[in-house]
Structure 1
């Protein structure tokens, strides 16, 4: 698909070019530089005038469209792996559905059904770094402050440029590849042409990918196509709906509520026939105030937004004024969303379409790069407008993690386009699980890392997946992404290749496990060493001196506990609400050079599970990790130690 021309040249005059808009009507004239000749900007005080130049060209190696949690993870991963990256976001804040504008909880894998094993297997890597930073900088659990935690996290990356309030509206093609993206900055009236080698669409609705001609689907597949038992008998156009959320505040005295004129009455008797729509608390919610669409949920967005507000105020009118909820007497609405959170629209097709049976059958993929485990949670497509059906069909939970293949994260027909989050190559039923935010973020880290590797090698994603998948997986694992059934085996890691591990007395585990390639305890199996107290020490010894300048380790953050910030603090019970006390806070690293120990790295106030230190190259026969302090726990636990020459 070629880019449509925004303007068509007609007869012009010297110094100016006349234009005709796409609808054939006369457009405001611009000159050869793209300056609007009918628009004279004037500084009143001096009389200085000028023609506003509102067109700019931006060059990068990787362009990431959409800065929800999957887009943030993709952009940071690409930048950290050496690619000059631009992140485009159409809102004034980062986070997408998780931002202060929508406030969807950053959930991940929890609720696994095997009761003999931990029910939570939290995601690591970039998404965990963000969550831990939030508890450090935002212990008050403020969503507007959360926006700024995300902003600081993204802006510290030297290879990453952020463009807020900017929407990618159209792809410019060169053959079947995307050459550039046309973007509109609606706060600075600027049209950007963004050139890149690799594009990743994490925008959810996928406008850029769609205008590029990437193959996609909407609606629900029928049972027969993929033999999905939870699919409808026949295919249709329904998607899971949008919703808005709210938060209340106890003001300490009775507060009346007067609904707006457009509020729609709530049929609570019919609604409450489904247990999932029962109002169990009045602090925050309600996810089931939801409206879908049976054809084009994107085109209907503004109508849906109005309906959602009308239905929400009808529900709240019932809560406040029916007399059935005396606990709401002193409550006032403190925040109500104005932008719907979206669950589903376009799903772009890759070389593999992930299905219900892939998930429930725990299919092993040789190109696995991420995982999931949230239940198959298919919301009633009609939402609150279809009270004859349950709010959600919680079809089936999982006993263990399922794998997500790289072949589902790039376009089958646009060679330099990758997709993450709900844009990925999935059936409607598979999306009902993979749409969870932390799962989407893992896909983002995978595609961002892959894009950087593609740039470095001068290849496209399909070739990377077919010929270099081992390298992609190794980099993801090194960067603290967990891939089920795929232990690390990095041939450049000096610890795994010739190093011998020793440590202080162990409370649990064994020092040898620090090189077994599995960076967490999983399904009850131990893959750690834990000290009996602090300070504690781990050593790696080589028979002959080795050149090294990097030492990395993976520390403990108790991955079997939740860590998300909630709108309702009552949900924080049993989870971390601070920097995990297990996490190493302070340590030093020594190297044995010519028989003498010298300190080569110092770590203070650490906030990350994957601790990476770099120092001038030394030729050493041993390294020593001296762990002196955690964020609260009296012992230290680590899962992996690595060392590299560079």
Structure 2
């Protein structure tokens, strides 16, 4: 393989990444000093040995996922669970991206449609959020970091590399052969070889160095006939925000701003710049860019720190917020949460009208529904205008196609998150983390199809999209207006399905391929009280080795962690009471019922029983307890040999 010489060509990218300690970029031997360490004078007193061990390592995987936010976690877990040896590369010491303790943004999704209800995302992202509800009742963001860490490292087919930045793609023609990655804490330069690369890093440095086509800024109205786009294209990108939180000390607390404060007066500010909930941070402390928003990051970070303290000084010392007298800053972010930078070009570019006109795609793999939400390009530096120009709310969820999740010109590159193939206006909705997580699960699953069939992502889109859709639906991702129809699901071939009691719905709904109540239709079976039983019958003996059930977790109500611990009809701050807790499975063999398995403390919506193959004429699910609801509700049952 003809490798590009990263150490001659890639220094500019490395400096921009801010992670490789180049000693003197004008020195011709710099790279040897940093990586080969020929001049290193280490003398180890314990062994008496001299000389530095190699700080270069080469490792190989089926799938390499870059970026450990919600999208990257879901991509990596999906790839690993579906059979690919996977590595997740994250440049921070914690997982979660904008939702981590470093930034503390709510992990939003389709929080609320025009009907007043959520349409929550399921699959891996819901499993993560439920795991947090079990392990982090105190709703601590630093503990959330560790919950996510646990969620990832427990996967046996997945390797996690923290504090590691992918800085350069090594190419052969239009294929990424390797990713060069610098791990700051160990001073190791890793060469990661993989068949499929997935860039979920937001800024997409690896994808950019591969030569993948991308754009930044705002499209003009004419290019995609977008109502909300500016008349002419420009370079503006939505800004990054720095958050903070405060606590009531029970006594008056003085505040003096630091030396770098940027004074804030609120004079001439738009009346839409409100201070509601300011004790938990103000999202419009935001700075955008019309140029290179990545190169501007450190300048903008310093500005944002100054603006944040300026706004807090105004709250504490202007006399206009007497209720803030006892408040003290408890946490202040130092790493701004970014909303937008590079958007890579795929075989399809999602635009505004795809969302507002609810376009249906044959290759749909995800959905969204956060409002179209165009922020003021100048952010806090343009306070006379509203912080957000408009919110176009949706009546129903919109579809997102797979063709927007792989590169148009780099054959083995996919992406998920805010860097996918879409316009600026489309990004204003789909950038929300739970929506990005659905994209991540789709590309992680697609990567495994690529590995199993030795193909590339475009061929998945052209020839195997049905297989991809069926697998992610089996793994509990909902695809709007696309019922599941897995030919291997033996529950669909049962001659009879019935419940012991029925309060609402019909047991037959559990094999209709639609795993939630939506669009005004009922797709569930609900028992009348507990205990309850569900039974499937086959005329002829049928070999089974797994049964999969989707129970109720109330997807009309949000379960992400919020700083205000909101608990009402729209948000829940505990384990969903509707979720099934205790159940057992029995099979009828030669006319005799046999116990197959028992689950006493279920923690997921998708419940799986796996067992040695057995020849049954019926199965029976016995449900004895939920996490608080009087009745049990199911949305799907599947059976496999």
Residue of 324, 331, 343 corresponding to 2:327: 331
- 1:269 is paired with a residue whose SS is coil
Q: Which whole-Å CA distance do the structure 1 matches of 2:31 and 2:85 have between them?
A: 36
Match of 2:474 in 1: 478
Q: Which whole-Å CA distance do the structure 2 matches of 1:352 and 1:469 have between them?
A: 15
Match of 1:614 in 2: 610
- 1:134 is paired with a residue whose SS is helix
**Deviations 1:218-261 (CA, angstroms, capped at 9, x unpaired):** 00001111111111111111000011101101111100000012
Q: Is the 8 A contact 1:35 1:52 kept in 2?
A: no
Q: Residue 265 in 1 paired to residue 263 in 2?
A: yes
Q: Is the 8 A contact 1:283 1:568 kept in 2?
A: no
Superposed CA RMSD: 1.7
Any residues of structure 2 matched to 1:344-383 within 5 Å, and which? 344-383=340-379
Q: Residue 587 in 1 paired to residue 587 in 2?
A: no
Match of 1:14 in 2: none
- The structure-2 alpha-carbon separation of the partners of 1:22 and 1:317, relative to structure 1 and needing over 3 Å to count, comes to closer
Residue of 187, 197, 200 corresponding to 1:202: 200
Q: Is the 8 A contact 1:41 1:52 kept in 2?
A: no
Q: Is the 8 A contact 2:566 2:573 kept in 1?
A: no
Match of 2:123 in 1: 125
Q: Residue 566 in 1 paired to residue 562 in 2?
A: yes
Q: Is the 8 A contact 1:62 1:78 kept in 2?
A: yes
Q: Is the 8 A contact 1:241 1:290 kept in 2?
A: yes
Match of 1:91 in 2: 92
Q: Residue 47 in 1 paired to residue 51 in 2?
A: no
Match of 1:222 in 2: 220
Q: State the shift of 1:396 in Å.
A: 1.1
Q: Residue 535 in 1 paired to residue 536 in 2?
A: no
Match of 1:11 in 2: none
Q: Which whole-Å CA distance do the structure 2 matches of 1:571 and 1:591 have between them?
A: 40
Q: Which whole-Å CA distance do the structure 1 matches of 2:235 and 2:8 have between them?
A: 34
Per mean C-alpha deviation after superposition, the further-off stretch among 37-46 and 374-383 is: 37-46
- 1:48 is paired with a residue whose SS is coil
Q: Which whole-Å CA distance do the structure 2 matches of 1:207 and 1:598 have between them?
A: 55
Match of 1:134 in 2: 132
**Deviations 1:15-51 (CA, angstroms, capped at 9, x unpaired):** xxxx9987453336479xx642211333334533342
- 1:182 is paired with a residue whose SS is strand
Q: Is the 8 A contact 2:6 2:168 kept in 1?
A: no
**Deviations 1:255-289 (CA, angstroms, capped at 9, x unpaired):** 00000122111131322x232x1112232111000
Residue of 516, 520, 524 corresponding to 1:520: 516
- The structure-2 alpha-carbon separation of the partners of 1:21 and 1:443, relative to structure 1 and needing over 3 Å to count, comes to same
Q: State the shift of 1:574 in Å.
A: 4.6
Q: Residue 443 in 1 paired to residue 439 in 2?
A: yes
- 1:196 is paired with a residue whose SS is strand
Q: Which whole-Å CA distance do the structure 1 matches of 2:322 and 2:190 have between them?
A: 54
Per mean C-alpha deviation after superposition, the further-off stretch among 498-507 and 376-385 is: 498-507
Q: Which whole-Å CA distance do the structure 2 matches of 1:125 and 1:28 have between them?
A: 44
Residue of 338, 341, 364 corresponding to 1:342: 338
Match of 1:64 in 2: 65
**Deviations 1:274-330 (CA, angstroms, capped at 9, x unpaired):** 32x111223211100000111100000000000001111110000000111111111
- The structure-2 alpha-carbon separation of the partners of 1:308 and 1:491, relative to structure 1 and needing over 3 Å to count, comes to same
Match of 1:460 in 2: 456
Residue of 301, 306, 309 corresponding to 1:313: 309
Q: Is the 8 A contact 1:6 1:21 kept in 2?
A: no
Any residues of structure 2 matched to 1:99-248 within 5 Å, and which? 99-113=100-114, 115=115, 119-248=117-246
Q: State the shift of 1:97 in Å.
A: 0.5
Any residues of structure 2 matched to 1:549-560 within 5 Å, and which? 549-560=545-556
Q: Which whole-Å CA distance do the structure 2 matches of 1:2 and 1:351 have between them?
A: 27
- 2:50 is paired with a residue whose SS is strand
- 1:421 is paired with a residue whose SS is coil
- The structure-2 alpha-carbon separation of the partners of 1:532 and 1:498, relative to structure 1 and needing over 3 Å to count, comes to closer
- 1:502 is paired with a residue whose SS is strand
Q: Which whole-Å CA distance do the structure 2 matches of 1:433 and 1:178 have between them?
A: 30
Runs of at least 5 residues in structure 1 that lack an aligned partner in the other structure: 9-18
Match of 2:254 in 1: 256
- The structure-2 alpha-carbon separation of the partners of 1:535 and 1:325, relative to structure 1 and needing over 3 Å to count, comes to same
Any residues of structure 2 matched to 1:420-435 within 5 Å, and which? 420-435=416-431
**How high is the TM-score relative to the length of structure 2?**
0.96
**Deviations 1:456-476 (CA, angstroms, capped at 9, x unpaired):** 111111110110100000001
Q: Which whole-Å CA distance do the structure 2 matches of 1:151 and 1:559 have between them?
A: 25
Match of 1:630 in 2: 626
Q: Is the 8 A contact 1:274 1:391 kept in 2?
A: no
- 2:313 is paired with a residue whose SS is helix
Q: Is the 8 A contact 1:108 1:436 kept in 2?
A: yes
Match of 2:28 in 1: 25
- 1:599 is paired with a residue whose SS is strand
Q: Residue 274 in 1 paired to residue 271 in 2?
A: yes
Q: Which whole-Å CA distance do the structure 1 matches of 2:201 and 2:339 have between them?
A: 12
Q: Which whole-Å CA distance do the structure 1 matches of 2:31 and 2:462 have between them?
A: 50
- The structure-2 alpha-carbon separation of the partners of 1:415 and 1:525, relative to structure 1 and needing over 3 Å to count, comes to same
- 2:572 is paired with a residue whose SS is coil
- The structure-2 alpha-carbon separation of the partners of 1:304 and 1:89, relative to structure 1 and needing over 3 Å to count, comes to same
What is the total number of aligned residue pairs between the two structures?
628
**Deviations 1:425-470 (CA, angstroms, capped at 9, x unpaired):** 0000000000001000000000000001111111111110110100
Q: Is the 8 A contact 1:69 1:127 kept in 2?
A: yes
Q: Which whole-Å CA distance do the structure 2 matches of 1:549 and 1:570 have between them?
A: 42
**Deviations 1:181-232 (CA, angstroms, capped at 9, x unpaired):** 0000001000000000001000000000000000001000011111111111
- 1:518 is paired with a residue whose SS is coil
Q: Is the 8 A contact 2:66 2:90 kept in 1?
A: yes
Q: State the shift of 1:122 in Å.
A: 0.4
Q: Residue 500 in 1 paired to residue 496 in 2?
A: yes
Q: State the shift of 1:524 in Å.
A: 2.8
- The structure-2 alpha-carbon separation of the partners of 1:139 and 1:23, relative to structure 1 and needing over 3 Å to count, comes to same
Match of 2:16 in 1: none
Match of 2:83 in 1: 82
